[in-house]
Amino acid sequence: MTRIAIGRRIRESRMDAGVTQTDLAKAIGISPSYLNLIEHDKRLIGGALLKRIAGALDTPLAVLSGANDAPLASEVAELARSLSFRGLDEAAASRFTGQYPDWANAFVQLHRRYRDATETALALSDRLSQDPALMELSHAVLTQISAIRSFAEIMEQYPDLEPAERERFCGIIADQSDRLGSSAREMIALLDGARNAPTPTSPQSEVDDFIHHCDNHLPRLEEAADALRARLETSIEMLPAAIENRLVRTHGLTIRRGRANIDRRDVRRHDLVLLDEEALDATHRFQLARTLADLELGDVTEELVADDRLTSDESRDIARRAMANYAAGALLFPYDAFHDEAEATRYDIDRLAQRFGGSFEQIAHRLVTLRRPDAQGVPFAFLRADPAGNISKPFSIAGLRMPRLGGACPLWAVYAAQATPDRTVSQLAEMPSGEQFLFIARSQSKRAPVYGRAQARFSVMLGCDVVYGERVVYFDSYASGRASLATPVGFNCRSCPRSACAQRAQAAIISAPTPPGGAPPAAPRMDEAEAGGPESREQSRKQGLASTART
């Protein structure tokens, strides 16, 4: 994670408190000159010393450490890279964010608006060439203009027209002009409506921010889900049946299996819950749990979405859906039981899915939420990608930043998993910095295959720091620690210095990192001279390594 330059914060807090450098230095037991270096970011500090400063200034540690700003700094860095602003590296981004958090925030917001505008423009231009309604209208307009022009010319060019002909042609011109007017108005209305048509992405980003801020753990919803489950008075095995029962008995709903509308959000109407007969059982259970959560935990959800970070109705709507999914997960996979079972099975997702009757994605999602301070699970990052690489639900952890813009590194298991549908794939991913992460991914459809229908597929990936490897069963195949087991990857092409990568999609805007100690970067790719040597070796290693684990 990006380090925040915190000197200015310390300096400002000290001045706000009306304390001199000398006095503060004395209070925390360092020399004034050393404090001066700290305040000018010439010395990076953390831990005990920062705690002492916070104590002496009576300021919350998080304010000084800028812990809350780390995601912001990451996003600024990611933006700078994605926009190819040379010279704006990670360190520059963190200095900028540390010194001017408000400006950094404004920069991020501006970029979101820019991205929205770009997407809207693209959607509109697509619309002009592909929207059947618009095409029909423009065809009508051209036809009307053609008729008007042709008959007007006839009236001018043929002075010998019969009075009846003249009258008829005049009538046609009047009629077509009239229609032309309404076609034009319809077209304007259509284009006007188009302004609201494309869904901007920034509400989603806002919700992603919000979820990060909560560390993807919502104690209020957990408690409410626990209380609801207690009201159901049932065991985990019988939970889905109890939920179904309560929906029918207490809420008077009818549950039916059938061909659901493609738009799942419309499925629940009035007193009918329509379960898509082509969807998997796990999806049905989840849908019913979400319906019950909507009905009984709606108040809690409303309180949560009333957060200041959610600034529009749209983002509150997205957040509401996210909360409903969270609540359904919390209801079906009770925190304590799920956490214990996860630890006991060493995060074996397939066994957890078996035990709790969830899909890979549901289980993976629930694992990410195990952040309760007294019973924390392994911290996992989360990412979902469709076959075209479009990314959703990114959740980052320290050191492992999930992309929001564009795609991730094409060598990540989340993409490799698409080659082996319905099999869990693991990968020991080594970042250019040398940090290693364990990736676990699986590509799955939420629906049973139906002849002639495209099956919506998503690849879901969890990632955790290898320091937690011992607690995770998927790490076992890499436990020998041999260097050959790791796949050299990056975060995305832009930020990746691996110049010889065969999968490179975009030029990097950074060069190979300078090793600590200030030595110059290694000579550029000597091994490139060995034709077909290391590159192809590296490649086969990568391919071999997105190995399939137990399914």
Partner 1 sequence: MGASILIAEDEPFIVESLNFLLTRAGHRVDAVDTGSRALQAMRGHRPDLLLLDIMLPETNGFDVLRRLRGEPELADMPVMILTAKGQEADRNRMIELGADDFVTKPFSNKDLLSRVEMLLEGGRAARGSTPSR
Residues making contact with partner 1 (CB under 8 A): 138-139, 142-143, 145-151, 153-154, 157-158, 165, 172, 176
Helix (H) or strand (E) holding 381: strand 381-385
147 or 460: whose CB is closer to partner 1? 147
Residue 139: CB minimum distance to partner 1, A:
6
Residue 154: CB minimum distance to partner 1, A:
6
142 or 344: whose CB is closer to partner 1? 142
First to last CA, the chain: 32
R_g (Cα) of the chain, nearest Å: 30
Integer Cα distance of 442 and 408 in angstroms: 16
146 or 433: whose CB is closer to partner 1? 146
| 497 exposure class (CB count in 10 Å sphere: 0-12, 13-18, 19+) | middle
**The tokens of 331 are what?**
């209801």
SS3 309: coil
182 or 514: whose CB is closer to partner 1? 182
Residue 175: CB minimum distance to partner 1, A:
8
Integer Cα distance of 396 and 463 in angstroms: 9
Residue found by looking up tokens 């770009």 in the block: 118
100 or 158: whose CB is closer to partner 1? 158
Residue 454: CB minimum distance to partner 1, A:
27
168 or 256: whose CB is closer to partner 1? 168
Residue 176: CB minimum distance to partner 1, A:
6
Residue 205: CB minimum distance to partner 1, A:
38
114 or 158: whose CB is closer to partner 1? 158
Residue 168: CB minimum distance to partner 1, A:
9
141 or 512: whose CB is closer to partner 1? 141
Residue 422 φ/ψ region, left for φ over 0, alpha for ψ in the -120 to 50 degree band, beta for the rest: left
105 or 150: whose CB is closer to partner 1? 150
Residue 123: CB minimum distance to partner 1, A:
22
Helix (H) or strand (E) holding 439: strand 436-445
Yes or no: say if 361 and 279 are a contact pair by the CB < 8 Å rule: no
Integer Cα distance of 133 and 40 in angstroms: 61
153 or 266: whose CB is closer to partner 1? 153
Residue 147: CB minimum distance to partner 1, A:
4
Residue 353: CB minimum distance to partner 1, A:
51
Integer Cα distance of 328 and 247 in angstroms: 14
152 or 295: whose CB is closer to partner 1? 152
Centroid of chain to Cα 228: 29
Integer Cα distance of 272 and 252 in angstroms: 9
Q: Cα angle at 126 between 121 and 128, to 5 degrees?
A: 95
Give the residue ranges of DSSP H helices in 397-451.
413-416
Count Cβ neighbours within 10 Å for each residue of 60-88 and write b for 16 or more, e otherwise.
Answer: eeebbbbeebbbbbbbbbbbbbbeeeeeb
Count Cβ neighbours within 10 Å for each residue of 161-189 and write b for 16 or more, e otherwise.
Answer: eeeeeeeebeebbeebeebbeebeebbee
Give the residue ranges of DSSP H helices in 29-162.
32-39, 47-57, 61-65, 70-82, 90-99, 101-130, 132-157
Integer Cα distance of 9 and 67 in angstroms: 12
Residue 425: CB minimum distance to partner 1, A:
43
Residue 490: CB minimum distance to partner 1, A:
39
Integer Cα distance of 166 and 160 in angstroms: 9
128 or 419: whose CB is closer to partner 1? 128
Integer Cα distance of 74 and 70 in angstroms: 6
